[in-house]
Amino acid sequence: MIKRLTMWHVKDAVSREEALRHWRNEHADLVRAVPGLRGYVQDHCMASPEGGGIPYTGLGEVWFDSFDAAATATQTPEWSTVISDASTFMNLETVVAAWADEHRIIEPN
């Protein structure tokens, strides 16, 4: 399983609540349409119980069977639509994205 991890901050002109609502609903619908997608997870960040602020707004994961499948998917019109929509609520100048090969150590019960 190959994943693209995207850490993002909300755009200045958009409220955090509105950005998360849009990401969870309209944006998720666009991601679901990407060919070859095997999984999609959204992590909505919150303040730490140890104190401190919220380090970023969210971390998204899209999953593909292989790097080739991911490379093909990111060349589709559906992927372009996802990126275009992201620009409406994410600060694209501060997005950090990385490709990862998952290694599960503990499985959830």
pTM: 0.90
Q: What is the mean pLDDT of the chain?
A: 96
Tell me the C-alpha to C-alpha distance, in Å, between residue 10 and each of 16, 45, 54.
6, 11, 12
In the chain, the domains with their CATH numbers are: 2-47+55-101 (3.30.70.100)
Q: pLDDT digits over 36-67, tens only?
A: 999 999 999 998 888 888 999 999 999 999 99
8 Å CB contact between 36 and 25 = no
Q: Which of the four pLDDT bands, split at 50, 70 and 90, describes residue 28?
A: very high
Cα atoms in the Cβ-side hemisphere of radius 13 Å centred on 47: 5
Tell me the percentage of the chain whose pLDDT exceeds 70: 100
Of the candidates 61, 76, 85, the one whose C-alpha atom is nearest the C-alpha of residue 7 is 61
